[in-house]
Structure 1
């Protein structure tokens, strides 16, 4: 089961969040043979921690605590776990930067396509403005309208939603790469 208990504590305007995992395998990738702190987090652990912080004011989050069952880590491993988590999120920032570069390229292409489609729509209307009683022209007008709506919406969605989400995710990972992390077993 993937259940994780989360406790949120506020003190003097600062927020501390405790994540209680049922096993170390929920947090640390059991298929990664690397010793701590080079071991990777599981996709579930990464997304769960980052996803929870997405709902918080990052400026107020002061620390996180990771709780694991007693027998899941040795005392030496427990001491290395905060560095492991910070290292993982630091490493993942580079992946997010690569994703953002690709995303920006796609955004530029979307703007160009939206511009081309708008020009085609204007030319289409100029050429066929007097023939709107022809069923084929009405059908083509609908097709051009739909194509323009789709390309403009895709461009709008990128800049208004997707890009903001990418920037927010990077801020969360930066926060997790430098935050105070405690371990409780």
Structure 2
């Protein structure tokens, strides 16, 4: 994990620039998709880097592209890719909270319904069967509200963690080093 100018560095060694992109993508640069293997490699390294330092990505090309073919703008392609992923995580977070609000309303109505039904059906009833029935409805009501609570308490944390990582990678300084003669 070398450092350059206060930035932690991720280094990639590629045969050529095309190896970085999805081969099925009809627009292989700027707008194109990174190859899943390349993305995962970068993400794995980035997760291990110190969280308080900026990231630099250095790409070593073993052989240049054909002379008639211009070298793609790898820096722009990589940073745009991760900026797009960060935006997708922001949308996922908004959707989670939207779905969570809907689930919470449904869960709250379900909990209230179970509590009311428990009270209504066991009103004036004594005995172990009435008590078991009452407690069962209360448990069902709390189970109905559990998933919305889980969404608001826990599910957003990994989304924020991924978004922060993608933003760091989108802001990374990307340097392409041609093969050494």
- TM-score, structure 1 as length reference: 0.71
One of 6, 11, 22 as aligned partner of 1:18: 11
One of 142, 146, 162 as aligned partner of 1:169: 162
The equivalent of 1:84 in structure 2 is 77
Gaps of 5+ in 1: 1-7
Larger radius of gyration: 2
Deviation of the 1:104 alpha carbon? 1.6
Deviation of the 1:142 alpha carbon? 2.6
One of 151, 157, 163 as aligned partner of 2:145: 151
Count residues in correspondence: 174
How far apart are the structure 2 equivalents of 1:11 and 1:25? 26
Counterparts in 2 of 1:28-177, with a 5 A limit? 28-67=21-60, 70-71=62-63, 73=65, 76-77=70-71, 80-127=73-120, 128=122, 130-131=125-126, 133-134=128-129, 138=132, 141-142=135-136, 144-152=138-146, 154-177=147-170
- Equivalent pair of 1:54/1:169 in contact (CA under 8 Å): no
Q: Normalized per residue, which structure has more helix?
A: 1
How far apart are the structure 2 equivalents of 1:73 and 1:132? 83
How far apart are the structure 2 equivalents of 1:71 and 1:105? 49
- Equivalent pair of 1:27/1:42 in contact (CA under 8 Å): yes
Deviation of the 1:132 alpha carbon? 5.2
How far apart are the structure 2 equivalents of 1:44 and 1:143? 49
Deviation of the 1:86 alpha carbon? 0.8
Q: What per-residue deviation string (whole Å, max 9, x for no partner) do you get for residues 118-155 of structure 1?
A: 322432343326445227x7357435514523532x22
Deviation of the 1:51 alpha carbon? 4.6
Gaps of 5+ in 2: none
